[in-house]
Structure 1
Amino acid sequence: MTSPTNIPRPQVTWASNIEGNQSYYYNNKAAFYLNDVVDIIGGLKISAGLSYTIAQDYFHYNTSNDIKYSNSQNGVAFRVGPIYYLTPDWTVYSSYATTFVPQNYPHSEDGVTVYPAKPLQGNQIEVGTKYAVTNQASITAALYQLTETNVLVTSSDPILAAQGVMEQIGEARSRGLELDFAYRPLPGWDITASYAYTSAKVISDTNIANLNHQFANVPYNAGSIWSTYEFQDGFLKGFGVGAGLHAQSSSPIATNSIYRLPAWAEVNALLYYKYDGWRFSANITNLFNTRYYQSSTGFNNVFVGQPLTVAFRIQKQF
C-alpha cells in the first residue's frame, strides 16, 4: 500500500521565459491515499483505492510586466476493479480508474499571456492476466485505454516551441499492450523481460494541427531484458552481477511534427556484494557509451542520452 501521506518540501524551480528573462515558482503538494482488497466469494476479490491531492503553487514571471500568480488545484481520484483466481496459479483482473494530477507548469497560447495550466484529468480501463507457468516462471499481460484532458504539449507553433512555450490539448487517448515475463532457472539467477506497445494520440483539440499525431517522446515499441545472478555459496557467496538491455523505436520530437528521434538501445550492468545487512554496489549506465537522443521538448530542444556513468552505493538494512 502506498504511504498515506506524501508531503514533499516546497520546490523552487528556475527557468528562462520566452523573452530570455528568469522566472521561478514555488510548489507545495500533499496527497492522501486509501487502498484495500476485499474477499467476496470463492476466488473473487474486489480491489479499490481512493486518493485526494492538494497542490498550491506560486509563479513569478520576471519581465517588464512582472507577472505573478498563485494557483490551487485540489481533486479526488479513485480506482476499483475485480480480481478473480481461476486457479491458484492463474489470475484475471479488470479495473476502472480516474486521474487527477496537478500541473504547475505555466503556459501560454500566444507567447505573451502567461497563466497556470489546468490539472491533468482522465480515466483508464484495464484488463489483464497473470499466470504462473511454474514455481520459477510467470507471465503477465495487460490491455489498457487511458483518456486524458488538459495534457501539456509543446506549442504547435515552431517559433513559440523554440522559446519553451507549452499549450494544453483538448483530449488525448493512449491504448496499449504490456507484457512481462519473470523466470528463475536456478537459485540466485533471475531473468525479467518486458515489452510495451503504446499508441498515444490527440483525439480532440481546437488546434487541428495536433489531431491524430503520436505524442512527443512516446515510441510505439519499447522493451527490456534484465538478468542478475547472486552466488549462493563458497568464497563468492553474497557477490552478484547483472546486465540488461533497454531498446525502443523512434518517437516524434513534438506532437505535431513529422521529425522523429531515432530508435536506440542501451546496455546497463550491475555489480554488488551483500554481507551482514550491508550492500555495496556499482550501477553502470550505458556500458558501451552509446550516443543516442533520448527526448525532446520542442523543435530545437533535443536531449542526448546519459553517457557511460558509474554510480557507487553503500546501503545498510536494519
Structure 2
Amino acid sequence: MRSTSILLAGISCLATVPAYAEEVDDAEITVTGIRQAYRGDFDQKEIPQAIATIDAKQLEDNNILRLTDALDLNASVARQNTLGGLWDAFAIRGFAGDENLPSGYLVNGFNGGRGFGGQRDVAGIESIEVLKGPAAALLGRGEPGGTINIVTKQPVYGNSFGSAALQYGSFDRLRAEADANVAIGQKLSVRLVGYAEGAESFRDTIESNRRGFLPSVGLRLGDQTRLTYDLEWTRVAVPFDRGIVVLNNNLTTVPRSRYLGEPGDGDHVARAEGHQLRLQHDFNDKWSVQLGVSHRDTLLTGQSSDAELVRSRQKLFADSQSLSRQRRSRVYDSEHFVLRGEVSGEFALGGMRHRILFGADYDKFENDQDFRRFRPPAVSGNPSDLAANIINIQNPVYGRFPLPTPAPLTNRVDIQKSTGFYLQDQINLTDRLQVRIGARYDDFQLQTNNRITTVQSERKASRLSPQAGLVFEASDAMSLYAVYGEGFRANIGTDAAGRIFDPETSQSIEAGTKLSLLDGKLTGTFSLYEMTKSNVLATDTANPGFLVTVGKARSRGAEMDIAGQITSTLSLLFSYAYTDAESRSLILDPNFSFQIRPGDPLINIPKHSLNVQLTQEFTLGSMNGQIGAGVQHVGKRSGETGTTFKLPSHNLVRLFGQFELTEGVELFGEVRNLFNAHWYANSYASLWVQPGTPRAASIGVRSRF
C-alpha cells in the first residue's frame, strides 16, 4: 500500500488550508502547507487566544461577496462608519481604529488594509481569520480587540482545476467570476482569479461597478523551498452615499431608499494595485524561515454632497425639510510597503519542549490627502437655498442649483515608518501545561507636511510590548487558557495646529476554554476579556482632516463561538458576543461639543450580537445538494457620540442553498433579510445614518472543472 504524506504547518485546525500539492507518482502525494506569519506550529487548542475562522465554503454557501458581510458571521465584529460605502470599517470587541482611515487588516500576514482601494471583495479569499484579543506582542500595531487576517487562494502544484459562476440578483445585480488553477509541470503553477459586477441599488440613483484580477504564481525551487507571488488589481466606481437623515429619533423621517446627495457629483472611484512576494524554506520538519515583501498603491477620487452636521449651519433643524449640504472633493493617495522575515522552530532544553518564533518587520505607509470643501453659511444669516446648497428631504429635486466649488481645506502628506522585532517562546512545562512568553519592540517615526500651512512636524517613539499566557489541557476534549498582553500603535495625523499625538497604548487580559466535541468534528471557544486603551483619537469636525484626543476607553465582555459538524450531513455555525465598550474619560466631544462622560457607550457597538446558522446536505437521486438558514441579531447601539440617539436592534434571516444539476454543474441561490426588516448598518450622526438592504435574492449557476 502506497503512503500519503501530509504536512499542515502553521495553520492546522484553523482554516481550509491553501496548500501546494505535488503528485510524486500515481499513488503518492506530498502536501506541504504554507506557514502563516506570526503563527508558528500550533494546534488550535494550544493557542492562548480566541480564534474564529470563516472559510471559503461558508463564504460560498452564503453567497457572500464583500469582506464586511463576511465579518457579520462573527458576533465579535461590529460595523463602523464606511466613508459613504467606500472602505471597510469594523470594530473587534468594541474597539475600532482611526476614523480617518479604513480598518487595518492582514493579508497573508502582511499589513494590507490601510489604503483607499474600496470595500474588499471576497474573490480570491480562502479563509478569513478573526484573531481576537491581546496578540500585540507579535502583531504589534493592531487594535487590542483583535486582528483580521485574510488568507488568499494559492497555486496548487501538479493539478489543474477551476470554477466559473454567473449570477443575477435583486436590484439588477449581475456578477461573473472565475477561479482557475493551471499546473505547468510539477514545479510551477498559476492561480487565476477574477470577477466583474454591475448593480443598481435599493438607494435612489445609486449604481456601482466593480472588477478585479487577483492572480498568483507558485514556483517550487526545491523540495523544501517555495516562492509565491500575488497580484491584487481592483477598481470600484460608486457614488458617495452618506445615507438617510433622522430627526427627533424618528427613523422614518425619510424612506430608506432616499438619496440626499447629488447624482451630478458622479462616482467616487477607488483603485488598488498590490504585490506580494513570499519565500518559505523548511530546513527540516521542525525549523522554517519565511521572507516576504509587499507593496500596495491605492487611490480614491471623487466629489460628494453631504449633509452639514453643525446645528448652527443646518436649516433642517429649523423647518424639518430643508437639508443644508456641504460639497466635498477628495483625492486620497496611499502607498504601503512592508518587509518582513520570520524563523520558527522547536528544540528541547532541560527536558522541556520549546517552540520559538522570532522575526522582524519594516512598514512604511504614505498617506497623501487633498481634501476640499464648500460649507453652507450660518442659518442665522437667513441664506438662500442656493447659498446653503439646499435639498428638500421630502421632495428632492436633483440638479436644482449649480454645484458649489469646494475650496482647499486639507492638503497634507503623512509618512509613517515603523520597525519591529519580536520573540515568542511557548514551553511545555508538563504534558498538559504550557506557558507562552513573548515581547515585541516597536520603533516608529511619523513625518507630516501640511502644504497649506507649510507646517512640518515629526515625532519618534518606541516601546516594548510584552505578552504572557498559560494553556492547560484539562482533557483531550478541553483546554483552559489565560493571557495578558500590551499593545502599541502609532497615531497617524495631527491636530489643526500640526501637533502629532502620543501613540495609542493598550492593556488586555483574557481567559477562556476551548472544546473539541464529537471526535473533533465540533469545536468551540468560550472567552472572557477586559481591555483598556489610552490616547484614543477622533475626527475634528471643525477642522476636517485633523484629529483631537478623546482620552481613554475600556471594553469588556464574553464570547462563545461554535463551529463544525453535528452529524455527517448537518453543520452548525454559532457566534455570540456580549460587549460592554465605553468611554473612561470626561471630555467635551470634539465633533459636536457634547459632553462625554465615563460610562458613555462607544458608537456603533451593540451589547448583544448573535449569529446562528445551520446547513443540511442531502441527496436527490444521484445528485447532491444542500439547504441552509441563518439568523443574525444585532442589539441596540449608540448612533452618535455624546447624545441619546440610538440605532435600534434588528434581526435578519437568510436562506441559501445549492443543487447539483449535472456532474460539475450546480444551481445556487439565496435570500437575505427574508422578512424585509428595516435595519441600520452604522451611523456617524443622526444626519449620517446608513440604512441596511431590504429583502434581496439572487440565483446563479456554477461550473467546476
TM (norm. structure 2) is 0.38
After TM superposition, the structure 1 stretch with the greater mean CA deviation from structure 2, 71-80 or 199-208, is 71-80
Q: Is contact 2:410-2:545 (8 Å) kept?
A: no
Q: 1:71 aligns with which of 401, 411, 414?
A: 414
2:528 is equivalent to residue 221 of structure 1: no
Q: How does 1:239-250 map to 2 (within 5 A)?
A: 239-250=625-636
The offset of 1:259, in angstroms, is: 1.5
Residues 1:107 and 1:130: Cα distance change in structure 2 (over 3 Å): same
Partner of 2:511: 127
Partner of 1:81: 469
Partner of 1:57: 367
Distance in 1 between residues matched to 2:499 and 2:700, nearest whole Å = 42
Partner of 1:185: 566
Structure 2 letter corresponding to 1:269: L
Residues 1:43 and 1:181: Cα distance change in structure 2 (over 3 Å): farther
Q: How does 1:116-195 map to 2 (within 5 A)?
A: 121-135=505-519, 136-153=521-538, 160=541, 167-182=548-563, 184-195=565-576
Distance in 1 between residues matched to 2:565 and 2:612, nearest whole Å = 14
Partner of 1:24: 331
Partner of 2:161: none
Q: Hey, which of these two has a bigger chunk of strand by percent?
A: 1
Distance in 2 between residues matched to 1:120 and 1:313, nearest whole Å = 46
Distance in 2 between residues matched to 1:253 and 1:194, nearest whole Å = 24
Distance in 1 between residues matched to 2:557 and 2:617, nearest whole Å = 34
What secondary structure is seen at the aligned counterpart in 2 of 1:288? coil
After TM superposition, the structure 1 stretch with the greater mean CA deviation from structure 2, 278-287 or 295-304, is 278-287
Q: Is contact 1:216-1:254 (8 Å) kept?
A: yes
After TM superposition, the structure 1 stretch with the greater mean CA deviation from structure 2, 27-36 or 79-88, is 27-36
Q: Is contact 2:555-2:580 (8 Å) kept?
A: yes
Distance in 2 between residues matched to 1:116 and 1:12, nearest whole Å = 24
2:584 is equivalent to residue 203 of structure 1: yes
Distance in 1 between residues matched to 2:585 and 2:111, nearest whole Å = 34
Distance in 2 between residues matched to 1:143 and 1:59, nearest whole Å = 40
Distance in 1 between residues matched to 2:666 and 2:468, nearest whole Å = 38
What secondary structure is seen at the aligned counterpart in 2 of 1:270? strand
After TM superposition, the structure 1 stretch with the greater mean CA deviation from structure 2, 61-70 or 269-278, is 269-278
Q: More relative contact order in 1 or in 2 (CA 8 Å, sep 6+)? A: 2
Residues 1:291 and 1:20: Cα distance change in structure 2 (over 3 Å): same
Distance in 1 between residues matched to 2:476 and 2:584, nearest whole Å = 41
Q: Is contact 1:44-1:84 (8 Å) kept?
A: no
Identical counterparts, % of pairs: 21
User: Which digits, 9 at most, give the CA deviation of each residue in 1:210-245, with x for residues without a partner?
Assistant: 2321111101111111001122574332x1111100
Distance in 1 between residues matched to 2:553 and 2:657, nearest whole Å = 41
Residues 1:180 and 1:21: Cα distance change in structure 2 (over 3 Å): closer
Distance in 1 between residues matched to 2:351 and 2:694, nearest whole Å = 52
What secondary structure is seen at the aligned counterpart in 1 of 2:622? helix
- Bigger radius of gyration: 2
Distance in 1 between residues matched to 2:619 and 2:358, nearest whole Å = 40
The offset of 1:312, in angstroms, is: 5.5
Q: Which runs of 5+ in 2 are unaligned?
A: 1-35, 38-107, 113-273, 275-295, 309-325, 374-406, 421-439, 441-464, 590-594
Q: Is contact 1:271-1:282 (8 Å) kept?
A: yes
User: How many residue pairs end up in the alignment?
Assistant: 308
Distance in 2 between residues matched to 1:35 and 1:226, nearest whole Å = 39
What secondary structure is seen at the aligned counterpart in 2 of 1:169? strand
Q: Is contact 1:188-1:229 (8 Å) kept?
A: yes
Q: Which runs of 5+ in 1 are unaligned?
A: none
Distance in 2 between residues matched to 1:317 and 1:119, nearest whole Å = 50
Q: Is contact 2:623-2:659 (8 Å) kept?
A: no
Distance in 2 between residues matched to 1:171 and 1:46, nearest whole Å = 36
The offset of 1:172, in angstroms, is: 1.3
Q: 1:285 aligns with which of 672, 694, 700?
A: 672
User: Which digits, 9 at most, give the CA deviation of each residue in 1:144-197, with x for residues without a partner?
Assistant: 122234445466xxxx49x89865422211111001233633212112222111
Structure 1 letter corresponding to 2:601: Q
Q: Is contact 1:154-1:298 (8 Å) kept?
A: no
Partner of 1:310: 697
The offset of 1:123, in angstroms, is: 3.7
Distance in 1 between residues matched to 2:627 and 2:648, nearest whole Å = 30
Partner of 1:10: 297
Q: Is contact 1:44-1:83 (8 Å) kept?
A: no
Residues 1:206 and 1:142: Cα distance change in structure 2 (over 3 Å): same
Distance in 1 between residues matched to 2:618 and 2:328, nearest whole Å = 56
Q: Is contact 2:580-2:607 (8 Å) kept?
A: yes
Q: Is contact 1:153-1:255 (8 Å) kept?
A: no
Distance in 1 between residues matched to 2:110 and 2:658, nearest whole Å = 33
